[in-house]
Structure 1
Protein backbone atom coordinates (compact mmCIF):
# COMPACT_ATOMS: atom_id res chain seq x y z
CA UNK A 1 0.00 0.00 0.00
CA UNK A 2 1.14 3.54 -0.78
CA UNK A 3 0.51 6.83 1.04
CA UNK A 4 -1.09 9.44 -1.24
CA UNK A 5 -1.85 13.12 -0.89
CA UNK A 6 -5.27 13.98 -2.35
CA UNK A 7 -5.50 17.26 -4.27
CA UNK A 8 -8.40 19.09 -5.89
CA UNK A 9 -8.96 21.59 -8.63
CA UNK A 10 -11.66 23.88 -7.31
CA UNK A 11 -14.18 25.66 -9.49
CA UNK A 12 -13.69 29.40 -9.42
CA UNK A 13 -10.56 31.48 -9.14
CA UNK A 14 -8.48 32.56 -6.17
CA UNK A 15 -8.01 36.33 -5.87
CA UNK A 16 -4.88 37.48 -4.05
CA UNK A 17 -4.77 40.52 -1.76
CA UNK A 18 -3.16 42.48 -4.59
CA UNK A 19 -6.03 41.55 -6.93
CA UNK A 20 -4.28 38.91 -9.06
CA UNK A 21 -6.28 35.84 -10.14
CA UNK A 22 -4.97 32.28 -9.87
CA UNK A 23 -6.26 28.76 -10.42
CA UNK A 24 -7.51 27.39 -7.13
CA UNK A 25 -5.99 24.06 -6.09
CA UNK A 26 -6.47 22.63 -2.61
CA UNK A 27 -4.82 19.89 -0.61
CA UNK A 28 -7.74 17.78 0.59
CA UNK A 29 -6.10 15.10 2.72
CA UNK A 30 -4.24 11.80 2.71
CA UNK A 31 -5.20 8.24 1.83
CA UNK A 32 -3.50 4.85 1.83
CA UNK A 33 -4.26 2.79 -1.29
CA UNK A 34 -2.71 0.54 -3.91
CA UNK A 35 -2.88 3.15 -6.73
CA UNK A 36 -3.95 6.72 -7.56
CA UNK A 37 -7.48 5.85 -8.67
CA UNK A 38 -8.18 3.82 -5.58
CA UNK A 39 -6.84 6.62 -3.37
CA UNK A 40 -9.22 9.17 -4.92
CA UNK A 41 -12.17 6.77 -4.81
CA UNK A 42 -11.52 5.93 -1.14
CA UNK A 43 -11.19 9.61 -0.24
CA UNK A 44 -14.47 10.41 -1.99
CA UNK A 45 -16.18 7.51 -0.19
CA UNK A 46 -14.63 8.21 3.24
CA UNK A 47 -14.25 12.00 3.30
CA UNK A 48 -13.26 12.94 6.86
CA UNK A 49 -15.12 16.29 6.78
CA UNK A 50 -18.01 17.90 4.85
CA UNK A 51 -17.18 18.97 1.29
CA UNK A 52 -19.49 20.75 -1.11
CA UNK A 53 -18.67 18.55 -4.12
CA UNK A 54 -20.28 21.05 -6.50
CA UNK A 55 -17.28 23.31 -5.79
CA UNK A 56 -14.76 20.66 -6.90
CA UNK A 57 -13.92 20.16 -10.58
CA UNK A 58 -11.66 17.13 -10.22
CA UNK A 59 -9.40 15.27 -7.77
CA UNK A 60 -6.06 13.57 -8.21
CA UNK A 61 -3.61 11.74 -6.00
CA UNK A 62 0.17 12.01 -5.79
CA UNK A 63 2.22 9.33 -4.02
CA UNK A 64 4.18 10.61 -1.05
CA UNK A 65 7.43 9.25 -2.42
CA UNK A 66 10.17 10.42 -4.75
CA UNK A 67 10.38 8.80 -8.15
CA UNK A 68 9.73 9.17 -11.88
CA UNK A 69 5.96 8.65 -11.39
CA UNK A 70 5.52 11.53 -8.92
CA UNK A 71 5.31 15.31 -9.10
CA UNK A 72 2.92 15.57 -12.07
CA UNK A 73 0.60 17.93 -10.20
CA UNK A 74 -2.64 16.84 -11.82
CA UNK A 75 -1.33 16.16 -15.31
CA UNK A 76 -2.37 12.51 -15.05
CA UNK A 77 -5.26 10.54 -13.59
CA UNK A 78 -7.76 13.39 -13.21
CA UNK A 79 -10.91 11.94 -11.73
CA UNK A 80 -13.88 14.23 -12.20
CA UNK A 81 -16.48 14.49 -9.45
CA UNK A 82 -19.34 13.49 -11.78
CA UNK A 83 -17.50 10.21 -12.49
CA UNK A 84 -17.24 9.49 -8.76
CA UNK A 85 -20.87 10.37 -8.16
CA UNK A 86 -21.95 8.07 -10.99
CA UNK A 87 -19.90 5.20 -9.51
CA UNK A 88 -21.77 5.46 -6.22
CA UNK A 89 -25.22 5.85 -7.80
CA UNK A 90 -24.97 2.35 -9.31
Structure 2
Protein backbone atom coordinates (compact mmCIF):
# COMPACT_ATOMS: atom_id res chain seq x y z
CA UNK A 1 0.00 0.00 0.00
CA UNK A 2 1.19 3.53 -0.77
CA UNK A 3 -0.05 6.57 1.09
CA UNK A 4 0.05 10.26 0.32
CA UNK A 5 1.43 13.00 2.55
CA UNK A 6 -1.96 13.28 4.27
CA UNK A 7 -2.06 9.52 4.99
CA UNK A 8 -4.66 8.72 2.37
CA UNK A 9 -4.22 5.56 0.31
CA UNK A 10 -2.98 6.41 -3.20
CA UNK A 11 -2.04 2.95 -4.43
CA UNK A 12 -2.21 -0.75 -3.67
CA UNK A 13 -0.65 -3.94 -4.97
CA UNK A 14 -1.51 -7.55 -4.27
CA UNK A 15 0.38 -10.62 -5.34
CA UNK A 16 1.68 -13.98 -4.34
CA UNK A 17 3.70 -17.00 -5.39
CA UNK A 18 1.04 -19.57 -6.35
CA UNK A 19 3.52 -21.90 -8.08
CA UNK A 20 7.17 -22.49 -7.22
CA UNK A 21 9.27 -19.76 -8.82
CA UNK A 22 6.32 -17.86 -10.28
CA UNK A 23 5.29 -14.60 -8.65
CA UNK A 24 1.86 -13.36 -9.70
CA UNK A 25 0.50 -9.82 -9.55
CA UNK A 26 -3.18 -10.09 -8.69
CA UNK A 27 -3.94 -6.36 -8.54
CA UNK A 28 -2.13 -3.05 -8.98
CA UNK A 29 -3.99 0.23 -8.71
CA UNK A 30 -3.02 3.89 -8.29
CA UNK A 31 -5.49 6.74 -7.87
CA UNK A 32 -5.61 8.96 -10.96
CA UNK A 33 -4.10 11.99 -9.22
CA UNK A 34 -1.01 10.02 -8.19
CA UNK A 35 -0.27 8.35 -11.53
CA UNK A 36 2.97 8.99 -13.43
CA UNK A 37 4.81 9.75 -10.20
CA UNK A 38 6.48 6.39 -9.65
CA UNK A 39 3.87 4.99 -7.27
CA UNK A 40 2.96 2.01 -9.47
CA UNK A 41 6.63 1.26 -10.15
CA UNK A 42 7.41 1.37 -6.41
CA UNK A 43 4.50 -0.92 -5.59
CA UNK A 44 5.47 -3.40 -8.30
CA UNK A 45 9.09 -3.36 -7.11
CA UNK A 46 8.04 -3.94 -3.50
CA UNK A 47 5.80 -6.82 -4.57
CA UNK A 48 8.70 -8.32 -6.54
CA UNK A 49 11.05 -8.05 -3.56
CA UNK A 50 8.51 -9.81 -1.39
CA UNK A 51 8.05 -12.52 -4.03
CA UNK A 52 11.82 -13.08 -4.09
CA UNK A 53 11.63 -13.84 -0.35
CA UNK A 54 9.24 -16.68 -1.22
CA UNK A 55 11.42 -18.14 -3.97
CA UNK A 56 10.00 -16.46 -7.06
CA UNK A 57 12.36 -15.97 -9.97
CA UNK A 58 9.85 -14.27 -12.24
CA UNK A 59 6.83 -12.02 -11.95
CA UNK A 60 3.69 -12.45 -14.05
CA UNK A 61 0.51 -10.50 -14.65
CA UNK A 62 -2.66 -11.17 -16.64
CA UNK A 63 -4.40 -8.17 -18.19
CA UNK A 64 -8.16 -8.06 -18.84
CA UNK A 65 -7.69 -7.50 -22.58
CA UNK A 66 -5.04 -7.12 -25.28
CA UNK A 67 -5.77 -3.39 -25.35
CA UNK A 68 -5.57 -2.79 -21.62
CA UNK A 69 -4.29 0.76 -20.96
CA UNK A 70 -1.74 -0.55 -18.44
CA UNK A 71 0.13 -2.57 -21.11
CA UNK A 72 2.68 0.19 -21.90
CA UNK A 73 3.41 0.58 -18.18
CA UNK A 74 4.24 -3.11 -17.80
CA UNK A 75 6.27 -3.15 -21.03
CA UNK A 76 8.37 -0.19 -19.82
CA UNK A 77 9.15 -2.19 -16.68
CA UNK A 78 10.47 -5.15 -18.65
CA UNK A 79 7.42 -7.40 -18.94
CA UNK A 80 7.26 -9.45 -22.13
CA UNK A 81 4.30 -11.34 -23.62
CA UNK A 82 3.63 -14.96 -22.79
CA UNK A 83 0.32 -14.74 -24.65
CA UNK A 84 -2.15 -12.06 -25.75
CA UNK A 85 -2.96 -10.91 -22.20
CA UNK A 86 -0.30 -12.66 -20.11
CA UNK A 87 3.07 -11.00 -19.40
CA UNK A 88 6.14 -11.84 -17.36
CA UNK A 89 9.59 -10.59 -16.41
CA UNK A 90 12.56 -11.97 -14.53
CA UNK A 91 12.99 -10.85 -10.94
Bigger relative contact order, structure 1 or 2, given CA contacts below 8 A and separation 6+?
1
Q: TM-score, normalised by structure 2?
A: 0.31
Q: TM-score, normalised by structure 1?
A: 0.32
Radius of gyration: which is bigger? 1
